Amino acid sequence: MPKPDYPITPAIRVLRGKGIEFKPHLYAYEEHGGTSHSAAALGVPEHQVVKTIVMQTDERTPLLVLMHGDREVSTKQLARLLGVKRVETCDEATATRHTGYLFGGTSPFGTRQPLPVYVEKTVFDLPNIYINGGKRGFLVEITPSDLRRAFRVAEVEVAVAP
């Protein structure tokens, strides 16, 4: 059996374990390049690149938000939906502690501990998405419906233009 030409991360193990088909995409990672860089490197619309954002409530309860690359999360709207005072993005060390992934390589699949996953509702309208495969410079292409197969998700409407 030939060795795959992409990294075998915890995320890839989860996708394989659940029988989810994916197409790997490697690109040259750029520090602070974000989804605009990865979209340009792959030649795909930034709207289809879905970023995994590690957040926490005011009580330090961690959660993941999957958001279009060209949108931001309205933390006020998310806090309202969750019934908490505040939601904020985790710093790098906290995000890594919760997920086991390096900042910039965070995948929603195969996190160190199971975390609640909130997905921007319009992500499910796309034909396919590009989401982190668990390493910097590595995205996997899947169908949005596969998110539901991978774990329980809650659809939210919290996107705002940057």
- Weakly modelled stretches of the chain, pLDDT under 50: none
Write out the DSSP string of 99-126. HSS-TT---STT-SS---EEEEGGGGGS
The model's pTM is: 0.95
What confidence score (pLDDT) does residue 22 get?
97
Residues whose CB is less than 8 angstroms from the CB of residue 125 and which lie 6 or more positions away in sequence, other chains included: 144
* 27-160: CATH superfamily: YbaK/aminoacyl-tRNA synthetase-associated domain (3.90.960.10)
Cα separation, 107 vs 162, in Å, equals 22
What confidence score (pLDDT) does residue 34 get?
93
List the domain boundaries for the chain: 27-160
What percentage of the chain exceeds 90 in pLDDT?
Answer: 96
What confidence score (pLDDT) does residue 3 get?
62
